[in-house]
Structure 1
């Protein structure tokens, strides 16, 4: 099954590289991630989560990826350095290339189910000692884990004082609510966990601060004030969301507000 999946992914990449620039030729929209222009972005999602103008035909970046890209391009010199310890959870291909080129050794990809990563990792129980990582990029993951507060606390625990993270989630509600049923229930043969087990609201920022993080929240308007450019980049829709940038306070925190112990202590 994994072999067929890998072949399918490889075929899709080849097809996108060869056909997309021709099939979707145009100048109406521009993807800042792959730096190509097209007639339009492709739709994504289904049901209530279906949205037009979401996916780049070439690099397959979503709105959230393009929003993060603008943020990272602006702050690359301040945030990224060679050989820093950087954990990328559920890595997006184009962003993964960008991070690896900027960091090199020290860049780590991780996921619970995927085979094309360096480390198999559950964000609710990371097998890293306290204060190991300089940075974490974890985009649209917490909505799929059973205990998101524990996952947030784990990110806080493994970050070094002064370390940072980008931890975006989709915002679909006024206030965060656990879903009665997952928004994406897997088929019986699909071993991956169900997705969208909660709908986040604007109080998500408070969850991050409850774990001890210092937070900054950036809207699309903050990262690109020009409305026409936001529309052309495909980040002006209601589902784009916000960029949540957090830091672990630089002062040493001997008392972990999450109450979690290190893996050595739990052993």
Structure 2
């Protein structure tokens, strides 16, 4: 689909050095070559299905997390869950003739969004392989510019995250959708006095974090790992970080993740 352009306020459109679709596809082909070998060598492990690329077979571990990574596309639990949520949302949302803003774009989702949305805009604070560089606390687009916003694990970084949430709401049309997942680190959100020197986050979200989204959006629906079939393996297994959030545990060493879908 030919992409239309939307200019930020007071600027000319200045696309960065984009990671081309062909380069992404080459990297994916290389992973597809390795995936059958991994499957052959690990036939004894449980089999799963990746909703991102369609692979069926055992998944790779990621540090201490079991069955975390798809050996074909390389996506992890959170992207599989987000893909399942997207499938459900887009079944009732017509993306043709619509505009999407994709913050900190993931390569596989970028390809998907470019195929189905009439206008695709990628952005990041520092990355150069995007269309625009800006701070989400001050988004340089007019009110009601976009129909859809996708920003995964972004809101923990800006100092004023509430302002960033308001900005996402401001640029959405009435009835627009924003999918804004955050890493759940505690039962209750911790706002740091200073940016963490290692992780660079200013906020460590807890289960109460979604109240900040509900304060700005008309409706916020929370989708959990156990809302979907286990064959997609959308759970976090054996994670040291998730042990800090016992409310997310559904079984021993098995935790659900949450994806918030916000409607303007």
- Distance in 2, Cα, partners of 1:134 & 1:163: 5
Deviations 1:104-143 (A, max 9, x none): x311111112222111122111000111111101111111
1:154 aligns with 2:167: yes
Which residue does 2:14 correspond to in 1?
none
Which residue does 1:117 correspond to in 2?
130
Which residue does 2:209 correspond to in 1?
204
Which residue does 2:35 correspond to in 1?
20
| Distance apart, 1:17 and its partner CA | 3.1
| Distance apart, 1:164 and its partner CA | 1.0
Instruction: Specify every segment of 5 or more residues in structure 1 that has no aligned partner in the other structure, as ranges.
Output: 45-49, 186-193, 249-267
| Distance apart, 1:236 and its partner CA | 2.2
- Distance in 2, Cα, partners of 1:168 & 1:42: 22
Which residue does 1:165 correspond to in 2?
178
Relative distance call for 1:21 and 1:183 in structure 2 (3 A) is farther
1:33 aligns with 2:52: yes
Relative distance call for 1:213 and 1:195 in structure 2 (3 A) is farther
Query: What is the 5 A alignment of 1:1-267?
Result: 13=28, 15-25=30-40, 26=43, 28-44=47-63, 51-103=65-117, 105-179=118-192, 185=198, 194-222=199-227, 224=228, 229-230=229-230, 232-237=231-236, 238=254, 240-248=256-264
User: What is the SS of the residue equivalent to 1:171?
Assistant: coil
Which residue does 1:253 correspond to in 2?
none
Greater helix share, 1 or 2? 1
User: What is the SS of the residue equivalent to 2:156?
Assistant: helix
Deviations 1:36-75 (A, max 9, x none): 023223305xxxxx53332222212121111111122223
Relative distance call for 1:110 and 1:240 in structure 2 (3 A) is farther
Instruction: Specify every segment of 5 or more residues in structure 2 that has no aligned partner in the other structure, as ranges.
Output: 1-16, 237-253
User: What is the SS of the residue equivalent to 1:16?
Assistant: helix
- Distance in 1, Cα, partners of 2:32 & 2:220: 38
- Distance in 2, Cα, partners of 1:179 & 1:110: 25
- Give the TM-score normalised by structure 2: 0.75
Relative distance call for 1:21 and 1:125 in structure 2 (3 A) is farther
| Number of equivalences | 224
Relative distance call for 1:136 and 1:13 in structure 2 (3 A) is same
- Distance in 2, Cα, partners of 1:140 & 1:116: 18
Deviations 1:193-235 (A, max 9, x none): x53332111111110012244211111222x1xxxx42x3221
| Distance apart, 1:240 and its partner CA | 4.7
- Distance in 1, Cα, partners of 2:207 & 2:89: 24
- Give the TM-score normalised by structure 1: 0.74
